Amino acid sequence: LTVVGLMVIVARSVVERRRELAIRSALGATTAKLIQLVARQGLLPVWVGAGAGVASAFAGARLLQQFLFQVTPREPLVYAAVIVVVVGVAVLASFVPARRIANMTPARVLRAE
């Protein structure tokens, strides 16, 4: 559920910026620069959220110990897997629409508005 919600939010934030990206492209920004901009600005909140989530899960792990089966409450592999999945989904969710918008002509994007 978290992954789907994250994917929708990140992809939507990129799509909402399509006019800005089209203007930047018309002013000479390359596809690589546009994708880099989207990745930097879009993934910073994801990294902060993942860090806060892992920290709070680590702090509250003892409270959940009674519900865990064959997993220690502070299993490093589980924390690493969660970070990889969340950040990986965010990267894909921001890269795909940014790439699509960057490959469109700026006039076409601006005309669609």
66-91 pLDDT tens trace: 887 777 888 888 889 989 998 898 88
pTM as predicted: 0.74
Do residues 89 and 29 lie in contact, with contact meaning Cβ atoms separated by under 8 Å? no
> What's the pLDDT at 65?
80
The pLDDT assigned to 40 comes to: 84
Regions of the chain where pLDDT drops below 70: 113
DSSP string, 23-78: HHHHTT--HHHHHHHHHHHHHHHHHHHHHHHHHHHHHTGGGGGGG-SSS-TT-HHH
